[in-house]
Amino acid sequence: MSEKNLIRKEMKESLAILTKPYYEHYSYKIADTLYKDEDWLKADVIGITISKEPEVDTYQIIRKAWEAGKEVVVPKCNPKEKTLSFRKITEFSQLESVFYGLLEPIIDQTMEVKPEDIELLFVPGLAYTKEGFRLGFGGGYYDRYLTNYDGKTLSLAFHFQVIQQFPIEKHDIPVSKIITNDEVINIK
């Protein structure tokens, strides 16, 4: 097993033992910190994933974005090309379960939004370094998307997901900021 896959396995195990009270508490603290963040306050259009436990809860963040008048765009996977597009949703009923139980926008109920129109992109991952590098789930979807994205990037993570290091490859693009339940890590 490669070092990256070993870290993925260990992180999935750590996330699996996170109890519901801690999951809720940490997700709330992360969201509360986010709502005071300058990048969040300035962004009118946010790109964000629909979380699946045990990822940091994004449902509360999406609701808050709608309350604040922000446009919310969520990823749609194209598994043949392993690419992502983002589509605007205005309610959770515009989502359907497609691959791996992930919720994605229903194409005929949503509109695609170009990368240059997304002001703040939330980038998911399993593990992060303090330098902003992330270890994703292994599909490379976000790595490919980020090569054509110039806006602000941000990741939400539980404190134990930030680790010392893992192998970095030349195509890896760091995020601009990581918000955990303990700290805000500004990278660039």
132: left (phi over 0), alpha (psi -120 to 50) or beta: left
Total-model pTM: 0.94
**Residue type (1 letter), 102:** L
CB 126 within 8 A of CB 135: yes
Question: CA Rg, the chain, in Å?
Answer: 16
CB 141 within 8 A of CB 171: no
pLDDT of res. 167: 87
* Residues in the chain, overall count: 188
| Domain architecture of the chain: domains with CATH | 3-183 (3.40.50.10420)
**What does the pLDDT look like over 7-25, one tens digit per residue?**
999 999 999 999 999 999 9
Give first-to-last CA distance, the chain, whole Å.
Answer: 33
- Tell me what the mean pLDDT of segment 26-30 comes to: 98
pLDDT of res. 71: 98
Lowest mean pLDDT among 1-10, 37-46, 102-111: 1-10
**Rounded to whole angstroms, how far apart are CA atoms 81 and 131?**
29
**Rounded to whole angstroms, how far apart are CA atoms 20 and 39?**
29
Residue 4 Cα distances to 16, 129, 170, angstroms: 18, 13, 15
Per-residue pLDDT at 99 exceeds 80: no
pLDDT of res. 100: 73
pLDDT of res. 171: 82
**What does the pLDDT look like over 55-98, one tens digit per residue?**
999 999 999 999 999 999 999 998 888 899 999 999 999 999 98
